[in-house]
Structure 1
Amino acid sequence: MKYFNYCAIFLFIFLPIKIYGAPMQALIIFSGEELGNLEPCGCYEGQIGGISRRHTFINSFVKQKNIILPVSLGDLSKGYGRQEEIKTEILGRAMQEMGYVLHSLGEKDVETGPQLLSYLSQVNNTTFLASNVKIIAPFPMKVHQYVLKEYSHSEYSFKIAFLSILSKSFSSASIANYVNIYEPVQALKPLIKRLHDKVNIIVLLSHTPKEESIEIAKFFPEIDLIITGHDIEDPQDSIIYVNNIPIVSPGKGGKYIGIARYSIQRNATKRMSVDIIPLDRKYKDSEKMKLLLEEYQRMLKEEDLLSKVSQVSLPDGLAYAGSSACGICHKMIYDHWSKTAHGVSYETLVYSGHQYDPECIKCHTTGYGYVSGFLNYEENQNLINVGCESCHGAGSFHIRNVNETSYSLTDENICETCHDSEHSPGFERNEYWRRIVHPEETLTNLPKVMK
């Protein structure tokens, strides 16, 4: 009985401190510069990134009942055109589902035009942040100079302010008539002065080259965290500290996710860690994001974006004929080609459901983007897959002049049109050539028409 009483006294005195005095965590989760990358394209094993894995990563913290603050550094898309607009819409919906509290404007976002930004702000309730940017447009849209979030509990009070800047070096003639970009330091001075004594943490989303972010950190020691860009390939190795301010980047392409952890206990806030994490296979694909990605592919199909691509004219009246036309005379080579990865490249898109995606189709068919090249499956079944003319060029002249041997020459630089660092980082020409090189023809194995 005495033992029981001692235990009861111990629990009564110490347990409340353990429960109610335990520090809460504020998690600032940051991404940015997706540049239209919704998911790994699947061109090689080991690709990282994508909104499905990102959603799973963020959701892993939700059940812990911490303060979770996902924010975006900017640049959802990478350029112009209808496909980029659709991607921006999909990414906006994805961020809404993931609970993003704001999106900092990057130069690519601004270049998409005020109409699309207005659409996102209304349909997806996107909170746009830009402390030194003013958009002049007759559309219902608000760009915040700062975003303030406040959380109260019986044991703590926590306030965090987010600021954002866009480098003046990213200004261009295409946006000058509806966007004003002000000098970042002058724009930040009154805001930081107003917020410094009223919040626990000030976070700056600095859509600038890293060098500019470093100068900002030197000028404003009141800032607690700077999330920066621009075009940083390996964000895990790029974290630096200036005046004890972490300057970090989520990289580009949506491949990594950043997380800054702060402990909150009563009125004290302390930085615990800042990490950049690759979104690899450890994070399973979110079912909600998979459905959103399927909808994206349906939108591409329904709008028939494949057939709406601008087609470049070929020189000297050349035209694509298709690999089956080549196979009439070069049967041995054709049979060999059909068993290579090039010979089934279109089927890989059908299997993954990406056969209506212009960005994928250009490297899985023959002549896409050129007059007489692949346009859609219904009209150009003879041009599916990476065919003979993908390497040798349009073959109509050669078919009419079969004894013209110069056509067989190829430029090895053509390979790198598709086998680039993004889709084929391990590309080594000699090794890859060995996999697809076709048999040599001699006078003894050529068809009679060629002799």
Structure 2
Amino acid sequence: MSTKKKIFPKFFCFFLFFSLGIGLFCLLLSCKSHIVREKLSFPPNPPKAVHLYLTADVEGSLEPCGCKSGQIGGLPRQAQYLLKSRQSPYLVVDAGNSMSVTPTRYEFFKWYYILQIYEKIGYDALNLGQNEVALSSSQIAQVTEKMPIPLISANVLEKDTSELLVRPYVIKEVDGVKIAIIGLVNPKAKTGEGIVLADPGTAFAKYLPEMLENSHLIFVLSALSIEQIAFLCKNFPQIGMILNTGETGTHLPENKESVVVSSLTAKSRYIQQIRFAFEPSGDLAWVNGGNVPLDESIQDHSGTVYLLNRYREELGKERFYLEQLGNSKEKYVGASRCSMCHAEIYRSWKQTAHSRSLDSLKKKNNHHDPHCLKCHVTGFGIKNGYEGEEKTPDFAFIGCEVCHGPSSLHTFHNNPDQLRPSTSHPNPKKICLECHTWEHCGNFDFDTFWARIAHPKK
């Protein structure tokens, strides 16, 4: 009688122990995710004070237009101050809305140059604001691929994948102190193609544990509403400071709950300079700040001036002012056509600055910039209006039809008296204030300037 020896398969033992190991690993991983991470221990010798320089809400404003003296602001002065006058140790950050509110190809082109200037300055973090998220996801990706600019936002997502469009936060080390800077934007903002916005509170909570684990202090760069700021302050006492732009206006650092909140809306006219120090525990001991006006006492930064000159040269090639032209029921005819019947009025108009309005743009090489042209030519943005000085020289100034409207029917009709453009607008001051704003003209006195352009009745 023969017997067979039973052989226990070796691979079964291996499989059993391997499965037990995987199960134990998953259990430990699950437990770890529920651990409340403690804040990173604070260094024994922190800096006595840190200088933080905040910009925000530039909205595509490159420099003062030059329409009046004493204007403040401009990226050449901003760059000069941040590069030459900043005190160490420092952080340089932007809370958002560096791009203009209109997401056209022209404004995207301009924003790209603004970011080049910011890169040269050496910004530590730039938040995506409401204006930036109005771009498409591909446009923002194009920027991040071309330049190593530290754009951040924890709640701006790619629509198809729900993945972050840019990094959620950065950690900057200042003399041994690690500061996490996270970006947030109002989820009610209008978004461009391929972008969705997550809830800012949920997004912040998602990254809070890892920021606590890897930094000593947490700052928020944001473009949020008053209510959203209040929610963060109430529910996340781990935040050291919130630096906001948007509807909160401009105010210096103040305590909200246990969080310091500061806000700036400046269109490149001011830099907010904030100083802060630490308690031995790592909490903020004190914070103070002030707004630095970028006035004429600050020289223009030569490197920034060079970039802006290159920008203007490219504008001349691109001719963005010919894009997205609108329609008008009537056609513009030009001031010379008006002069055929209104010679005395025409001669009076020729003596005013309106008849030479494009010359002031040429002095600064701004005569291809749509932002400037709209207030210096006739029929801007209309198909049969201004299309460049060479092609439409009779529209290369502030002519009759800027105030009276396009006049083709009045000019060519058999009975022109019945079709005459309005010579007594119900509110002529309103027309003037479309261009003569406080930013361009200061305290514009209508009666004074009206006397300078008044012409005979016929």
Name the residue aligned to 1:103. Answer: 126
Are residue 83 (structure 1) and residue 98 (structure 2) matched? no
Partner Cα distance (2:286, 2:83) in 1:
22
Partner Cα distance (1:212, 1:180) in 2:
18
Partner Cα distance (1:291, 1:73) in 2:
26
* Pairwise CA distance, 1:83: 0.9
CA deviation map 1:254-273 (0-9, x unaligned): 22212221347998664442
Closer, same or farther: CA 305–179 of 1 in aligned 2, 3 Å: closer
Once structures 1 and 2 are overlaid, which stretch shifts more, 37-46 or 287-296?
37-46
Are residue 423 (structure 1) and residue 437 (structure 2) matched? no
Name the residue aligned to 1:160. Answer: 179
* Pairwise CA distance, 1:435: 2.0
Closer, same or farther: CA 132–372 of 1 in aligned 2, 3 Å: closer
Q: State how 1:49-198 maps to structure 2 within 5 Å.
A: 49-62=73-86, 64=87, 66-77=88-99, 78-136=101-159, 143-152=166-175, 157-170=176-189, 172=191, 174-175=192-193, 178-196=194-212
Contact 2:173 2:179 in 1 (8 A): yes
* Pairwise CA distance, 1:277: 2.3
CA-atom RMSD in angstroms: 2.8
Partner Cα distance (1:49, 1:148) in 2:
30
SS at match of 2:421: helix
Name the residue aligned to 2:63. Answer: 39
2:313 to 298, 306, 317: 298
Name the residue aligned to 1:360. Answer: 372
| Amino acid of the structure 2 residue aligned with 1:50 | G
Closer, same or farther: CA 313–188 of 1 in aligned 2, 3 Å: closer
Q: State how 1:398-413 maps to structure 2 within 5 Å.
A: 398-400=410-412, 401-404=415-418, 406-411=420-425, 412=428, 413=430
| Amino acid of the structure 1 residue aligned with 2:228 | E
Contact 2:357 2:377 in 1 (8 A): yes
| Amino acid of the structure 2 residue aligned with 1:260 | I
Are residue 382 (structure 1) and residue 397 (structure 2) matched? no
* Pairwise CA distance, 1:197: 6.5
SS at match of 2:207: helix
| Amino acid of the structure 1 residue aligned with 2:108 | E
Name the residue aligned to 1:205. Answer: 221
Contact 1:29 1:70 in 2 (8 A): yes
Partner Cα distance (1:115, 1:181) in 2:
16
Query: How many residue pairs are counted as aligned between the two chains?
Result: 407
SS at match of 2:274: strand
Partner Cα distance (1:379, 1:419) in 2:
27
Closer, same or farther: CA 130–424 of 1 in aligned 2, 3 Å: same
| Amino acid of the structure 1 residue aligned with 2:79 | H
Partner Cα distance (1:330, 1:239) in 2:
60
CA deviation map 1:254-308 (0-9, x unaligned): 22212221347998664442222222222221111111111111111011223x2
CA deviation map 1:62-99 (0-9, x unaligned): 5x5x1222112122222222211111100110110010
Q: TM-score, normalised by structure 1?
A: 0.82
CA deviation map 1:164-203 (0-9, x unaligned): 222222255x44xx33422222222353344347533321
1:369 to 374, 378, 381: 381
SS at match of 1:398: helix
Contact 1:210 1:230 in 2 (8 A): no
| Amino acid of the structure 2 residue aligned with 1:227 | L
1:255 to 248, 253, 269: 269
In structure 2, runs of 5+ residues without a counterpart are 1-44
Q: TM-score, normalised by structure 2?
A: 0.81
Contact 1:366 1:383 in 2 (8 A): yes
Partner Cα distance (2:375, 2:456) in 1:
24
| Amino acid of the structure 1 residue aligned with 2:440 | H
SS at match of 1:423: helix
| Amino acid of the structure 2 residue aligned with 1:302 | K
| Amino acid of the structure 1 residue aligned with 2:152 | L
* Pairwise CA distance, 1:402: 4.7
SS at match of 1:110: helix
Name the residue aligned to 2:24. Answer: none
CA deviation map 1:22-80 (0-9, x unaligned): 95542221212222111122233333222111111112335x5x122211212222222
Partner Cα distance (1:424, 1:309) in 2:
28
Are residue 437 (structure 1) and residue 454 (structure 2) matched? yes
Are residue 286 (structure 1) and residue 286 (structure 2) matched? no
Partner Cα distance (2:155, 2:370) in 1:
36
| Amino acid of the structure 1 residue aligned with 2:292 | I
* Pairwise CA distance, 1:391: 0.9
Contact 2:97 2:132 in 1 (8 A): yes
1:30 to 51, 54, 58: 54
Partner Cα distance (2:220, 2:406) in 1:
52
Name the residue aligned to 1:9. Answer: none
Contact 1:210 1:229 in 2 (8 A): no
Name the residue aligned to 1:444. Answer: none
* Pairwise CA distance, 1:231: 4.2
Contact 1:26 1:264 in 2 (8 A): no
CA deviation map 1:314-350 (0-9, x unaligned): 22xx322211222233222222211212121111111
SS at match of 2:397: coil
* Pairwise CA distance, 1:355: 0.7
Partner Cα distance (1:282, 1:232) in 2:
29
2:357 to 317, 342, 345: 345
SS at match of 2:389: coil
SS at match of 1:122: helix
Contact 1:29 1:259 in 2 (8 A): yes
**How high is the sequence identity, in percent, across the aligned residues?**
26
Contact 1:323 1:382 in 2 (8 A): yes
Name the residue aligned to 1:230. Answer: 246
Name the residue aligned to 1:16. Answer: none
Partner Cα distance (1:75, 1:353) in 2:
26
Partner Cα distance (1:239, 1:435) in 2:
46
Once structures 1 and 2 are overlaid, which stretch shifts more, 140-149 or 343-352?
140-149
Once structures 1 and 2 are overlaid, which stretch shifts more, 257-266 or 125-134?
257-266
| Amino acid of the structure 2 residue aligned with 1:46 | G
